């Protein structure tokens, strides 16, 4: 069961500091500790998703957790034997297993976090392989609680949880969930474990930040998605934006400790379900609605990031009923939509920062520079929408960040979550 067989994946940039490249990140070594709870089955998807992405995953299971899902299942999904308490002190190990595992992991995930294990972590107790490994590790620990609502709301459980949340300030413990929903006991309330996709997203964030919470104490106002300008109740002028970029920006900011407000237009598919509970959301449809929401929320924001693809024009007249084909205009009268980010820049207070986005084709830098200066922004992110696997509708993105001080930074093609973190790496230094 040696952990020495493979090395970590290096985090490097295609561009060096000399050419302004920003590094993308990918999780390298993830340790998953599973405790007793029905939600243990959700870790099958988490483990499989990470392993399929080529990430090294190791799983350890408490005795209680093996009553819900077998160790053989996780061994098959992780492509590696599972560690249990039977392996704790084994002659097969040249070094104590909890020491070796603790030093190996880049991110340690504990899910479903039971009330029992929560209490042990809060008080520094170590009576099994999992809790000993926590004390022997220094990497970020991601906690995903899962329990009955009445259990979760017990004063003792909340006291233990608050104690660990205090440790979050030191970037040791991080949390995802619990969510509100139907529980295994058929109760509907708080205590449902976060969904696998939310856990995986948090893992990717922690792998990039190494647990840094450099946006703690900041309020970020972010816009995302498209807007729809209706000609009648069924026809509108819009664009292909899905909202993925705005959601990724909100997720990354929240994971780095920020208070986040996300104002979003109509989202594609079930993307609304991927927005973590701590993020405040305001759903809008038309540009006028987004303008009102953004102007209202901006006074309390430290940074405003306008990533939404807002319509530039709208029908001058909008019918309240579906227009028959015979009544459709052959020439559509259009009106310009006010430039929201320019207005926000005009009304910002000292210390506030405004960051715009510019979706471009061809030469993406020259027109973006004009927008940066003309709208008096602190930064603008210009991204190509005519490149493969980038921009609207894609899971990936790439861009050049243009700063008001004349500096430029390139973000190479990668996931939108990685893109968001690289943007914050740049802004965290510049927007102080």
For the entire predicted model, the pTM comes to 0.87
Record the tokens describing residue 252, joined without a space: 């990354």
Averaged pLDDT for residues 305-329:
92
Record the tokens describing residue 98, joined without a space: 């909890």
Residues 290, 227: contact at Cβ < 8 Å? Answer: yes
Question: Domain ranges in the chain?
Answer: 17-209, 219-315+332-430
CA–CA separation, 281 and 135 (whole Å): 37
Averaged pLDDT for residues 414-432:
88
Q: Do 219-315+332-430 and 17-209 fall under one CATH topology? A: yes
Q: What percent of the chain has pLDDT over 70?
A: 92
What dihedral do alpha carbons 291, 344, 294, 359 form, nearest 10°?
70
Q: Which fold has domain 219-315+332-430?
A: Rossmann fold (3.40.50)
| Nearest alpha carbon to residue 231 among 156, 320, 118, 143 | 320
- DSSP bridge pairs for 335: 314
Using one digit for the tens of pLDDT, what is the confidence trace for 358-389? 999 999 999 999 999 999 999 999 999 888 88
CA–CA separation, 30 and 27 (whole Å): 7
Using one digit for the tens of pLDDT, what is the confidence trace for 26-51? 668 999 999 999 999 999 999 999 99
- At 166, is the pLDDT very low, low, confident or very high (cuts 50, 70, 90)? confident
Does the pLDDT at position 296 exceed 80?
yes
In this prediction, residue 303 carries a pLDDT of: 96
CA distances from 61 to 33, 121, 388 (A): 6, 16, 42
| Nearest alpha carbon to residue 250 among 226, 219, 228, 227 | 219
Does the pLDDT at position 259 exceed 80?
yes
CA–CA separation, 184 and 181 (whole Å): 10
> What positions carry a catalytic annotation?
185
Strands 29-34 and 56-61: parallel
For residues 32-71, one letter each, b for 16 or more C-beta atoms within 10 angstroms of the residue's C-beta and e for the rest, the string is bbbbbbbbbebbbebbbbbbeeebbbbbbbbebbbebbeb
CB atoms within 10 A of CB 365: 14
In this prediction, residue 91 carries a pLDDT of: 65
CA–CA separation, 330 and 94 (whole Å): 80
Class of domain 17-209: alpha beta
Q: Where is 120: in which H helix or E strand? A: helix 115-123
Record the tokens describing residue 47, joined without a space: 């483990």
Q: Which residue has the tokens 């709870």?
A: 37
CA–CA separation, 285 and 262 (whole Å): 14
Strands 353-360 and 303-306: parallel
DSSP 43: H
CA–CA separation, 111 and 146 (whole Å): 8
């Amino acid at each position: 069961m040696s952990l020495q067989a493979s090395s970590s994946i290096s985090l490097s940039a295609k561009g060096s500091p000399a050419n302004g490249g920003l590094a993308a990140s990918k999780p390298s070594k993830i340790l998953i500790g599973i405790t007793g709870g029905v939600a243990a089955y959700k870790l099958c998807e988490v483990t499989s998703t990470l392993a399929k992405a080529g990430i090294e995953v190791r799983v350890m299971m408490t005795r209680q957790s093996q009553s819900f899902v077998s160790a053989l299942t996780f061994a098959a999904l992780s492509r590696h034997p599972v560690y249990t308490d039977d392996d704790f002190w084994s002659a097969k190990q040249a070094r104590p297993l909890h020491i070796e595992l603790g030093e190996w992991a880049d991110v340690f995930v504990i899910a479903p976090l039971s009330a029992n294990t929560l209490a042990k972590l809060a008080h520094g107790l170590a009576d099994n392989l999992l809790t000993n490994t926590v004390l022997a590790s220094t990497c970020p620990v991601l906690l995903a609680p899962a329990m009955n609502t009445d259990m979760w709301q017990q004063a003792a459980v909340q006291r233990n949880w608050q104690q660990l949340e205090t440790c979050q300030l030191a970037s040791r413990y991080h949390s995802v969930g619990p969510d509100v929903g139907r529980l295994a006991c058929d109760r509907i309330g708080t205590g449902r474990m976060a969904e696998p996709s939310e856990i995986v997203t948090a893992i990717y964030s922690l792998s990039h930040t190494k647990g840094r919470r450099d946006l703690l104490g900041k309020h970020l106002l972010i816009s995302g998605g498209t807007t729809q300008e209706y000609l009648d109740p069924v026809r509108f002028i819009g664009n292909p934006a899905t909202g993925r970029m705005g959601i990724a920006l909100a997720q990354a900011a929240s994971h780095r400790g920020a208070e986040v407000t996300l104002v979003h237009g109509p989202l594609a598919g079930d993307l609304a379900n991927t927005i973590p509970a701590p993020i405040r959301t305001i759903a809008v449809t038309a540009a006028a609605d987004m303008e009102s929401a953004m102007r209202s929320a901006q006074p309390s924001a430290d940074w405003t990031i306008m990533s939404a693809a807002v319509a530039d024009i709208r029908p001058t007249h909008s019918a309240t009923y579906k227009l028959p084909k015979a009544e459709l205009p052959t020439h559509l009268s259009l009106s310009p939509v006010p430039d929201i980010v320019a207005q926000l820049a005009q009304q910002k207070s000292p210390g506030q920062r405004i960051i715009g986005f510019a979706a471009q084709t061809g030469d993406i830098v020259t027109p973006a520079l004009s927008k940066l200066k003309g709208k008096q922004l602190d930064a603008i992110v210009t991204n190509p929408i005519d490149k493969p696997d980038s921009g609207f509708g894609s899971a990936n993105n790439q861009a050049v960040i243009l700063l008001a001080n004349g500096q430029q930074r390139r973000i190479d093609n990668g996931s939108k979550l990685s893109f968001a973190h690289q943007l914050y790496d740049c802004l965290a230094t510049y927007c102080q």
